Amino acid sequence: MELLREPKEVDFYVEDRPLTDDEKRLLKEAIAKNKAKAKRAKSKRAATSRRTAPASKR
């Protein structure tokens, strides 16, 4: 996500409003999906970065 730059002599005003139940559900689903994706990527990196002895030396 990028930050928006305000054009000169223009001010943006943002009002805080509560999320609807549908927006909360969508946000929770997106966060859970991103966490699962990061966990899979981390476990995949960990599995490929381990060094093990060759099978003949075990």
Q: What is the DSSP string of 14-27?
A: ----PPPHHHHHHH
At 2, the pLDDT band (50, 70, 90 cuts) reads confident
Check pLDDT > 90 for residue 53: no
Considering the domain boundaries, does residue 42 fall inside one? yes
Q: Which residues span the domain enclosing 24?
A: 20-46
Nearest residue to 14 via CA among 28, 25, 3: 3
In a domain, 3, yes or no: no
Specify the 3-state DSSP secondary structure of 58: coil
pLDDT attached to residue 47: 64
Percent of the chain whose predicted confidence (pLDDT) is above 70:
74
Model confidence, pTM: 0.48
**35 within some domain:** yes
CA–CA gap between residue 50 and residue 33 (Å, rounded): 26
Domain count, the chain: 1
Around 30, how many Cα atoms within 13 Å sit in the side-chain half-sphere?
6
- Residue 11 within any structural domain of the chain: no
Residue 57 lies in a domain: no
* Number of residues that this document lists for the chain: 58
